[in-house]
Amino acid sequence: MPEPVGMSGPGRAGKQMAGARGRAGGPHAAPIAAAERSYDFSADESSVGQALRSARAKIRRHRVPIAIVVALALLVALVATLLATPLYEAEASVQIRQAADNVLGEDLDSDRALRASSLDAERFLNSQLEILRSRGLAERVVRKLDLAADPGFAQEMGMAAPSLAPGMMAEATATAIVQERTTAILSRDTDIARITVASADRALAAKIANAFAEELIAANLQRDFDSAAYARTFIAGQLEDARADLEKSERALNDYARQARLIRLDDAGAAEGTVRNTSVTVGNLAMLNEAATAAGAERAAAEARWQAERAQPLLSSQAVLSNPTVQALMTRRSQLDAELQAQRLRYVDEHPAIRELQRQLEVTQAQLQQTATQIRNATRTQYLAAQLAEDRLREQVGNQEQATLAEQDRTVRYNTLAREADTNRALYDGLLQRSRQLNAAAGIAASNIAIIDRARPPSLPSSPNLLHNLLVGLAAGLLLAAVLVFVREHLDEIIRIPEDVEAKSGLPLLGVIPAASGDLVQELADPCSFVGEAYASLRGLVLHASPLGLPQILMITSARPAEGKTTTSYALAAGLARMGRHVILVDADMRRPSAHQIAGTGNETGLSSVLTDLATLEEVIRPLDVAGLSILTAGPTLSNAGELLATPRFAALLEQLAGTFDAVIVDSPPVLGLADAPAIAALADAVILVVEADVARRRTVRNALARLRQVQAVVLGATLTKFDADAAAHSNSAYGNLDYYRYPAYGGEPDALNAARLGSRWELPWTRSRGERRRA
């Protein structure tokens, strides 16, 4: 649905007058504000029901063409069923395993089993299914049953006989017939294939189905046999060539080793396919290098110990302190020292006992010093010995490396010959093993396809199925009828019922005004009449069209003349006046004025007089019988009415009226063909489009809306006038039950739901004053 658009002003004069409209304290000082949001019926609870009612109305309106199309479709299905040749379907089922039974054990079965083990199961089954549907298998069936020699084969299959020589049918034709009448499918989540053949001869159908199952097995076995025979022949030739190559390469390798004096050792740990480079020289180098590495590690350890010993005092070394002799001497020294201290307490230093103890203490200290020195020297000796051993081993490694490098120069050619011999040996071994497998599997015909159920002649025909064909005909008829209704509905542009307003114009439906049954003026004066109730409903909806209530300047227009816009303008103005509002009805149709006739007043002077300065505004405004309601008639008709309505003087007049009255209802000329209505719409706060039932057309209404959008008019919605619910509901029952558009005699607002959802779902873009919108 298109979104309501904003308004633009008439120019400089409109901008100047906008300031007066923004003054505080007046009844229109605060602009009507609402968020710009498109009206969307899809979120309403009643949208589903409305769609169902609309669909039902369309069905009833086109019920005769629908019935004819459906009946023709059913008739065609019935005739096709009666004229069709009965066909019988025979079904055979086979199991397709991915691999055949393992007759010879692992790695000794047929070539087919070896291939099947590497295939994806689903892909394998689909491949076998395509073989079942192939032309080659159908040709085998035709040859086995000799179907091409049967001139009546086509009739027996339920098909038209081709024009061929008498007594003979081409094999290609018979194959095509068999393929067309045969279907093959896989049962879900199984490896069971079902082969179905349809034929007018029940026995022939079963015979062909069984022939397909048998020929599928035979074709698979034949392919396996042909493949194995070819493989054996090919591998025998390759094996002989590989044997000759292996013998030649090994002889060349031995000759070169003898010539280059290379002694190779048997490297049992070498990987298969790699060249064995182990020789005496390489072995010696490896052992010497390993010994040199160990000697280096031992020398580094001895050097570390010696450096640690040398860097600390003699009797603080861990090696010295851990020696048992040193520990005993240190214990002896401690004992002598303790005894000496005890004797000094009893004797003087010159006493023989003290001197003896001092001598023993000095001897023990000398022994301790000598022992510790010997231990340290032993560590140094070990370091020097380790260093000497490492130097000698490094020298031997260097000599051996020179010998190894010299030998490597001679082994380049040897390695090439050895690699070639190993490759030929591996190839020969593989071919020999494969040849043994193929020879062992020769003659074993184990198939991976087995017949589960053989086909039997069916007792009842499978087609034609009367119920199925009728259902198909019914579905096709309904589909064609839906297309027909869709085309006719889109070609029908007339707005007939309320649902057509929104569907064909894109505007929300504001109200439904029934056709007057008597005097229109009297029905408007009676608020309990159907017409009065309808306009009361419309008035209530317009009062709640925005969060701030009634638009101050409301324009009523229509796409074409005589659609009820003048009556709607007067009814809305009178209804608002009865609610206590100060309202003025402005008849802006200065070409064909008619508001004064409904209001029952004269039209000697009016809007045209004010715009041409022949009268003042106060002189032409006339009060009516309804309290609070005044009218500004159109006045004498003018040929340049469009130019006068586009002048700043008319804009200033509307501003003056909006400052005086609570609401200004403008009865506008029709939109199409005249420039008057767009000029007025640019100045109005909101526009209501009046649409006449059974007269207005979709293209006409949309063209009118396009003109209003060009001036950024705010279109509230559309009102359907002159609607006859009884005629719409009962005239050929086209629209179904439309009682919900009839107005009860005891009052109420049938369109309250529309009013509620219009107020909550479609708010107008009145977020700025009219003057601000014009400046934009």
pLDDT above 70 for 13: no
Any idea which residue has 């107005």 for tokens? 743
Structure confidence at residue 68 (pLDDT)? 93
pLDDT above 80 for 9: no
pLDDT above 90 for 690: yes
Nearest Cα neighbor of 690 from 569, 607, 571, 596 is 569
For the ranges 329-343, 413-427, 668-682, 725-739, the lowest mean pLDDT is seen at: 725-739
For the ranges 213-217, 711-715, 760-764, the lowest mean pLDDT is seen at: 760-764
The amino acid present at 664, given as its one-letter code, is: V
Per the CB < 8 A criterion, the answer to whether 537 and 755 are in contact is yes
Tens of pLDDT, residue by residue over 108-125, are 444 444 444 445 778 888
pLDDT above 70 for 762: no
Pairing of strands 449-453, 88-96: antiparallel
* Count of Cβ atoms closer than 10 Å to residue 243 Cβ: 15
Cα dihedral 393/398/404/407 (nearest 10): -140
Quick one: average pLDDT of 428-441? 76
Structure tokens at 414: 């040897």
Structure tokens at 290: 């390993």
For the ranges 268-282, 425-439, 548-562, the lowest mean pLDDT is seen at: 268-282
Establish whether the linkage from the previous residue to 744 is cis, with ω within 30° of 0: no
Nearest Cα neighbor of 687 from 658, 707, 661, 662 is 707
Burial of residue 600, with CB atoms counted within 10 A of its CB: 0-12 exposed, 13-18 middle, 19 or more buried: exposed
- Enter the pTM of the model: 0.45
Structure confidence at residue 433 (pLDDT)? 81
Structure tokens at 345: 């307490």
* Count of Cβ atoms closer than 10 Å to residue 475 Cβ: 13
Structure tokens at 361: 């203490």
Annotate 240-272 with three-state secondary structure. HHHHHHHHHHHHHHHHHHHHCCCCECCCCCCCC
C-alpha to C-alpha distance for 181 and 568, rounded to whole angstroms:
72
Structure tokens at 256: 């070169």
Structure confidence at residue 333 (pLDDT)? 80
Tell me which DSSP letter residue 149 carries. G
For the ranges 74-88, 229-243, 683-697, the lowest mean pLDDT is seen at: 229-243
CATH tag for 12-61+490-775 (out of 3.40.50.880, 3.30.70.100, 2.30.40.10, 3.40.50.300): 3.40.50.300
Q: Which residues contact 276 (CB under 8 A, 6 or more apart)?
A: 264, 265, 266, 267, 270, 418
C-alpha to C-alpha distance for 659 and 490, rounded to whole angstroms:
46
Tens of pLDDT, residue by residue over 538-584, are 888 888 876 778 899 999 999 999 888 999 999 999 999 999 999 99
C-alpha to C-alpha distance for 306 and 345, rounded to whole angstroms:
44
Per the CB < 8 A criterion, the answer to whether 656 and 683 are in contact is no
Nearest Cα neighbor of 680 from 730, 738, 611 is 611
Structure confidence at residue 106 (pLDDT)? 46
Mean pLDDT of the residues in the chain? 76
Quick one: average pLDDT of 697-721? 91
Of 17-26, 163-172, 388-397, the range with the highest mean pLDDT is 388-397
pLDDT above 60 for 4: no
Structure confidence at residue 109 (pLDDT)? 46
Per the CB < 8 A criterion, the answer to whether 129 and 186 are in contact is yes
Tens of pLDDT, residue by residue over 217-262, are 888 887 777 777 777 777 778 878 888 888 888 888 788 777 776 7
Structure confidence at residue 170 (pLDDT)? 77
* Count of Cβ atoms closer than 10 Å to residue 436 Cβ: 12
Give the dihedral sign, CA 735/736/741/744. positive
Structure confidence at residue 660 (pLDDT)? 94
With left for phi above 0 and alpha for psi between -120 and 50, is residue 430 left, alpha or beta?
alpha
Per the CB < 8 A criterion, the answer to whether 538 and 751 are in contact is yes
Share of the chain above pLDDT 70, in %: 75
Tens of pLDDT, residue by residue over 133-167, are 888 888 888 888 888 877 767 666 766 655 444 44
Of 9 and 226, the one with more pLDDT:
226
Structure confidence at residue 113 (pLDDT)? 47
pLDDT confidence bin for 630, thresholds 50/70/90: very high
C-alpha to C-alpha distance for 40 and 457, rounded to whole angstroms:
64
Q: Which residues contact 291 (CB under 8 A, 6 or more apart)?
A: 393
Tens of pLDDT, residue by residue over 197-228, are 888 888 888 889 899 888 888 888 877 777 77
95: β partners: 192, 450
Domain boundaries, the chain: 12-61+490-775, 280-441
Of 100 and 320, the one with more pLDDT:
320
Per the CB < 8 A criterion, the answer to whether 552 and 664 are in contact is yes
Share of the chain above pLDDT 90, in %: 19
Any idea which residue has 């558009």 for tokens? 741
Of 12-21, 191-200, 397-406, 576-585, the range with the highest mean pLDDT is 576-585
3-state secondary structure of 316: helix
Tens of pLDDT, residue by residue over 303-313, are 777 777 776 77
pLDDT confidence bin for 19, thresholds 50/70/90: very low
For the ranges 173-182, 207-216, 314-323, 619-628, the lowest mean pLDDT is seen at: 314-323
Residues across the chain: 776
Quick one: average pLDDT of 334-360? 82
CB < 8 Å & 24+ apart, contacts of 178-186: 178/138, 178/141, 178/142, 178/147, 178/208, 179/133, 179/135, 179/138, 181/157, 181/208, 182/133, 182/138, 182/208, 182/209, 182/212, 184/129, 184/132, 184/133, 184/212, 185/129, 186/125, 186/126, 186/129
pLDDT above 90 for 758: no
pLDDT above 80 for 669: yes
The amino acid present at 317, given as its one-letter code, is: S
Of 168 and 346, the one with more pLDDT:
346
3-state secondary structure of 638: coil
Structure confidence at residue 557 (pLDDT)? 94
Structure tokens at 423: 């490759």
C-alpha to C-alpha distance for 753 and 483, rounded to whole angstroms:
33
C-alpha to C-alpha distance for 753 and 750, rounded to whole angstroms:
7
pLDDT above 90 for 658: yes
Quick one: average pLDDT of 383-403? 78
